[in-house]
A and B are shown apart, each in its own frame.
Chain A
Amino acid sequence: MKNNILEVSAIKDGTVIDHIPAGNLFKVISILRLEEIKETITFGTNFQSKKLGKKAIIKLSNVFFKDSDINRISLVAPEAKLNIIKDYKVVEKKIVEVPDEIQGIIKCVNPKCITNHEKIITKFSLVDKKKIQLRCHFCEKITDPSLIEKI
């Protein structure tokens, strides 16, 4: 701690994921399966943010994501921004995009949906990109973002 400002050490090479809603930090960690990563990971939460109120941030050394993998977090962190770091410099900035179709990751909200009774990979299509409303390919019910539950 220096002058009451928290300092998180900069990373040499890797990825910084910023603007994660504070409440969804652990969902992001779980969707990206960060528990399996052996590299150094720093994360912090409940930072003040003008946009989100409170935000979380994750810094990953020597980890780079494929777009298709990182877009999976768009359901819980639609405004997340990625900084790709090479030799302490931001070489690329990325935003996440909500995919039109989502396979796996989330559970259908409908308890009577067949996907909650048999071993089936869930599949949703996006009906409203702004509100992130997902229609189940099987039971046709809409799952709202507030009800999103990870498998």
Chain B
Amino acid sequence: MKNKSLVSITDYTKGEYLSILDTAAEFEKNSYQDLLKGKVVATLFFEPSTRTRLSFESAVNRLGGRVIGFSDANTSSVTKGETLYDTIKVVSNFAELIIMRHPLEGSARYASELSKVPIVNAGDGANQHPTQTLLDLYSIRKTQGTLDNLKICMVGDLKYGRTVHSLLMALSQFGANFYFISPDELKMPKEYKMHLDSLNLHYQESKDINENILDADIIYMTRVQKERFSDPIEYERTKNAYVLKGEMLSGCKNTMRVLHPLPRVNEIDQEVDSGPFAYYFEQTENGVYVRQAIISIILGLK
């Protein structure tokens, strides 16, 4: 994986996922290591994403590296009309690795083909966000002890949510069993169900959150956004049907954990936070270790 850009979750093999997770586990035990001392990493955020950027910057800082970059395209020469082509050609002279977030889909693949240093995709529009998927895998393995044959319940916006699509693609290599719970307007797209069919993996679809979460190993919550609905009345009718509340979890497996890529709005009631099942804040901590692992592996330091 040395010098190999991470653009899409499908760029890496199952074996490569596992070696990233193993390295991340080492960083969890000992997070502050001066592997990047004297090295510069660029974070180019053409659209703001505070959580993702801070997580990456924390990862670089814990490794002893320096960060250059911008957190919003308004503070870069993009506002002067500079192309992504030019920005990448220039910045790849300044840093040994580029971490990039961009609103246009395919921008990370394009950048990886222009840049002389590796690119880590920190989200390209609705397309890919592979480090999120890897930290999801890490969190699942850490809480369940394995990634094999788990029952995964995905709830909310399964149509537009790139995190559920990438997680599905990654977990399908481990023989998962999926429950898709969403309103009709936001169902899992056909291409992903066809992918599961081609691997003979089981999945079920439902509109009802209550009946389907009791035997889940993981509940993966996502945000149902108003702008995704063509009919605002339909949104008002469904918005409260996909809110996870404390009492709904009472019959769940003891080992079950609730994940969420965050930001959360109201889809997980705050009372869940203090219960035994909430894992979404630990999930963000895991993100730093996973990003440390990805950066140090790509730079050939691990």
Contact = CB atoms under 8 A, between A and B. Distances in A.
B179 to A, nearest CB: 25
Interface size class of A (residues with CB under 8 A): 10 to 19
Nearest to A127: B191
Contacts of B127: 139-141
B191 A140 contact: no
A137 interface: yes
Given A139-B125, A139-B127, A140-B8, A114 B83 contact: no
User: Of residues B125, B126, B127, B128, which shows the largest number of chain A Cβ atoms within 10 Å of its Cβ?
Assistant: B127
Contact of B106 (A119, A139, A142): A139
A136 B191 contact: no
Contacts, number: 52
A137 B103 contact: no
B192 interface: no
Given A120-B110, A138-B109, A142-B191, A114 B128 contact: no
Contact of B105 (A114, A119, A142): A114
A113 interface: yes
Nearest to A142: B191
A119 to B, nearest CB: 8
Contacts of B174: none
User: Of residues A117, A139, A141, which shows the largest number of chain B Cβ atoms within 10 Å of its Cβ?
Assistant: A139
B83 A118 contact: yes
What are the 6 tightest A-B residue pairs by CB atom distance, in nearest-first order? Answer: A138-B106, A139-B106, A139-B105, A114-B106, A114-B107, A114-B104
7 contacts: A114-B102, A117-B104, A118-B85, A139-B106, A139-B127, A141-B127, A142-B191
Interface of B: 8, 83-85, 102-107, 109-110, 124-128, 191
